[in-house]
Structure 1
């Protein structure tokens, strides 16, 4: 593929046995939809454009993010780009139902109970039926303004396990065999059920958020070995554990709530070791998952062009092997956890 000299090239990996390729760094598009605090349209568009300029060609969204706002905003930028040049994933499992009896957006309560600073013009309805999957995907394509997405993930089926496996998953398999989507999988904040998807179904990839980070490697117990044994891919989200590894300090968030003091002190010790080797903790956190060969991409959420530029810079930061060794010798990284070499 032709690349102009000024355009950065990020390494790409294909997902499982599919033809769908993702860049090592992907943009998670929840933040541009007003995650926790509002983001205006221009700022959101600038973040997506900055990602493109940094060589990011993998974008992940979901109807859940800002009640469809993420898909609208992401699609508005991606529609201006050559369709074969990028990969986009969205998710199914929550349908958006219009909230009755209100007029303008300003008449609605906000959606902050679900984490988004947007008017609650819709509410989410869980639906992991085959019809729900197809309908959700059709509505996502309408919001994105695209004729296809590359990867579709079952979104947070934690409390809907049997329906997800019995109805939603077969519907995804059908969409893939019809050529409607290129790859299928599931995205969750836990590793147990994702491991079941890898072992019991023919998914191409799973998106695991928060369970494979510098601070927590639960996914190394069963999920990553299952992926490696079956030639499947893992996309890692939540590498900063929702804030603690980006900027460790008392009151920082971990898993979307206030971090316990013991984890804050561990993250602070990690930062001291990393900075002693000339490495920002964010760079170490971002690169850590690539120690495992099944990890295809790391998703970073950014709400502004500046945050995207920072993520790209951290991704490209040189990391001496001595830093990983020092984290091990300080007891901050278990000896069996793989780390990227020669980075």
Structure 2
């Protein structure tokens, strides 16, 4: 599989990568055996960049990823996890769901400060059972998750101390790169105005359907040599299922406008003899700012099916017809499970 560099670092990642939110029980339970089989399917398919987070199942995904990678050769993979949420043990009857099924018995506290970042990394080492993390993403900073008032506090924590912690970790060689892991564009612009970061894991905002990142963020990333890792390429499912009854966009039921746009896109794909999911999964890699497309699933069969969508390599001109039906600034949901 082709690889691309992360920013100006010496780190390279595979063009397709594996996201582990579903292994933490996002929306439905994921038995351990299924999680391991899915990780094995991703490894067999050549995905050597694996992303996880303390948030996914409140530590469950990190534990499973660590167990899977522990016997893999050093240097044979790139691992990212996230900071900004600390897990606190609670009684079994006090465990929140936040969309996760059968998570570990913890509650989450937000902390983007210097000490919070450092504590988060130490906790992740312990859950993973590994002594190396390559990339750290600051998880879900932004108005989308916190609202304007709370985010002002958290953003100040990050700018005043959290970024210093990340820079120290990178300078010491503990990590190779750091950046943001978010679902919105504005906070990326806010942080990049104050600091240089290596990469951004951006979910749902640079897809075949949603081009919110195109106007400002992509040009800025190219200028500052900040790499994008693009998640949520199916926009919560609708670009995989098509405009069927019950389809979701941005974690919410799709609106009539979105359904109509996807219907038009599906017709274009069919005229080329393709399922809509094929251009959807390949579209982000047309930008030189994009280092990897992140695919998340808890089913080996889904992972294999997604990788089959990449076998017929599409060219930049193949995506032109879809532009007339894109969204530039969709209204964001307020009660989503952010990844």
Same fold (TM > 0.5): yes
Q: Over residues 4-56 of structure 1, what are the superposed CA-to-partner deviations in whole Å (9 max), with x where a residue is unaligned?
A: xxxxxx11111111112111001011011111010111101011010000000
Q: Decide which of 162, 168, 171 is 2:162's aligned counterpart.
A: 168
Verify the 8 A CA contact 2:179 2:200 in the aligned structure 1. Answer: yes
1:108 aligns to 2:93 (yes or no): yes
Map residues 324-339 of structure 1 onto 2, 5 A cutoff: 324-328=319-323, 331-332=324-325
Q: Give the counterpart of 1:133 among 117, 124, 134.
A: 117
User: Matches of residues 216-295 of structure 1 in structure 2 within 5 Å?
Assistant: 216-248=210-242, 249-295=244-290
2:102 is equivalent to residue 118 of structure 1 = yes
Q: Relative to 1, partners in 2 of residues 1:127 and 1:290: Cα closer, same or farther, differing over 3 Å? A: same
Alignment of 1:34-113 (within 5 A): 34-99=25-90, 102=91, 107-108=92-93, 111-112=96-97
CA RMSD of aligned residues (A): 1.6
SS at match of 1:250: coil
For the pair 1:19 / 2:10, whether they are aligned, the reply is yes
Q: Judging changes above 3 Å, is the alpha-carbon distance between structure 1 residues 178 and 247 closer, same or farther for their aligned structure 2 residues? A: same
1:122 to 1:318, Cα distance in 2 relative to 1, 3 A: same
Task: Kindly provide the CA deviation profile for residues 66-107 of structure 1, in whole angstroms up to 9, marking residues without a partner as x.
Answer: 1000101111111121120100100000000000xx3xxxx4
Structure 1 residues 283 and 129: alpha-carbon distance in aligned structure 2, compared to 1, 3 A threshold: same
Structure 1 gap segments, 5+ residues each: 1-9, 335-343
Residue 42 to residue 173, structure 1, CA distance change in 2 (3 Å): same
Task: Structure 2: give runs of 5+ residues left out of the alignment.
Answer: 143-150, 328-339
What is the number of equivalent residue pairs in this alignment? 316
Q: Which residue of 1 aligns with 2:186?
A: 192
8 Å Cα contact 1:111/1:120 also seen in 2: no
Cα shift at 1:111: 3.8
Give the CA deviation at 1:208.
Answer: 0.9
The answer on whether the counterparts of 2:208 and 2:322 sit within 8 Å (CA) in structure 1 is no
Distance 1:163 1:333 in 2: 35
